[in-house]
Amino acid sequence: MEAKKLMALIVDDEIEICAAMERYLKREGFETATANNGREAVSLARQIGPDVIILDVKMPTMSGDQALEEIRKFDAESVIIMVTAVEDIEISLLTLKGGADDFLRKPIVLGELLHSIQSTLEKRRLVSENRAYQKTLEFKVAEQTARLARLLGELKTTNREIILAFSEAIEAKDPYTKGHCRRVASYSVRLGEAAGVQKEWLEALETGAMLHDIGKIGVIETILNKPGKLTQEEFESVKTHPVIGFNITSNINTLREASRIVRNHHEHYDGSGYPDKLASAQIDILSRIVLIADAYDAMTSDRPYRKGMPREKAIAILRECSGTQFDPGLVKLFIEGKLYLITE
Ligand SMILES: [Fe+2]
């Protein structure tokens, strides 16, 4: 199929020059139209939508630079080449800013005219190709971003499901602790917020609090559920649960931060806890928070062999053990902020 011919609109008030350019461009394979002043050029450009406009600057009725301004109001696509006498060069330079693509000096050398048309058309083509490429690229980036956001959402859901499944596993092992993990998580997040824990750490705090006793699935049930005092040997067995829990969670990438809480949630402020006998600032703040939340909920919850103690008594014990078992600053926040009053 023959390629569509390009349309050139030639505008010059000198009829002979117009005719010479027309003959030449026809021979070079263009379709042509001519106008002899600016006004005529504007109206023709509007009618036929040329690909190229060759526009003389100095013309009666409406000059080329004015015509350029008018044409650019409705046509940003066509290539416009200004033609000028030597004395009009300043005007021509200004027209480049006004939307012309090139300018040629009179007398016109037809070969130069063709070269100017071809190179400006090529430049246009590259610019529009680049624009199309940019658009495709932006679209692809948006598409990938949406896909990543969707995957991230799915990952978060899966993560929540894993955490819930784990906490159900703990409660299945010790059914009387039903709701304990959820309540410890709730107290912990509130205490964390009061202590100024950064937002991005609150999620790890909540997860660590939910899973703090996950290691109990590795401790014999009869020991876990034994009413009354444990023997030394039984207690040693219970004391393995933070490390068992750490081993379960620390290899899961999304649970890495929470696994530290799982390991440290029985460390005491004065170094008398287990498993690593860490003290004060050696224990991360998230674990110090969970220790308080866990202790408070354990004291106030009912067990099959004993009733939960009244709130006031549990608070008195927190106060009493502040500075030995518990971080005193956090106990103060927990009690003075009455954070124990709210659970989900
Ligand atoms: Fe524990």
Distances (CA, A) of 262 to 124, 158, 280, 308: 64, 20, 17, 24
How far away, in angstroms, is 133 Cα from ligand 1 center? 58
How far away, in angstroms, is 200 Cα from ligand 1 center? 24
Q: Cα-Cα-Cα-Cα dihedral of 151, 157, 163, 168, to 10°?
A: -140
pLDDT digits (tens, 9 = 90+) for 169-181: 888 887 767 788 9
**In this structure, what are the phi and psi dihedrals at residue 230, rounded to the nearest 5 degrees?**
-90, 150
Output the six-digit token pair for 216: 């109990």
How far away, in angstroms, is 289 Cα from ligand 1 center? 13
All structural domains of the chain: 7-131 (3.40.50.2300), 174-341 (1.10.3210.10)
**Tokens 């205490």, residue located:** 191
pLDDT digits (tens, 9 = 90+) for 314-332: 999 999 999 999 999 999 9
How far away, in angstroms, is 265 Cα from ligand 1 center? 6
How far away, in angstroms, is 241 Cα from ligand 1 center? 7
How far away, in angstroms, is 300 Cα from ligand 1 center? 16
Output the six-digit token pair for 261: 């809480």
How far away, in angstroms, is 273 Cα from ligand 1 center? 11
DSSP structure string for 217-263: GGS-HHHHT--SPPPHHHHHHHTTHHHHHHHHHTTSGGGHHHHHHHH
pLDDT digits (tens, 9 = 90+) for 180-195: 899 999 999 999 999 9
List of residues 6+ apart from 104 with CB closer than 8 A: 81, 82, 83, 84, 112, 113, 116
How far away, in angstroms, is 108 Cα from ligand 1 center? 93
Q: What number is the average pLDDT over the span 240-252? A: 95
What secondary structure letter does DSSP report for 80?
E
How far away, in angstroms, is 225 Cα from ligand 1 center? 14
How far away, in angstroms, is 232 Cα from ligand 1 center? 17
Cα gap 183→344, rounded to integer Å: 7
Cα gap 143→149, rounded to integer Å: 10
pLDDT digits (tens, 9 = 90+) for 44-76: 999 999 999 999 988 888 889 899 999 999 998
How far away, in angstroms, is 238 Cα from ligand 1 center? 9
Q: Helices H, strands E: what count in the chain?
A: 14, 5
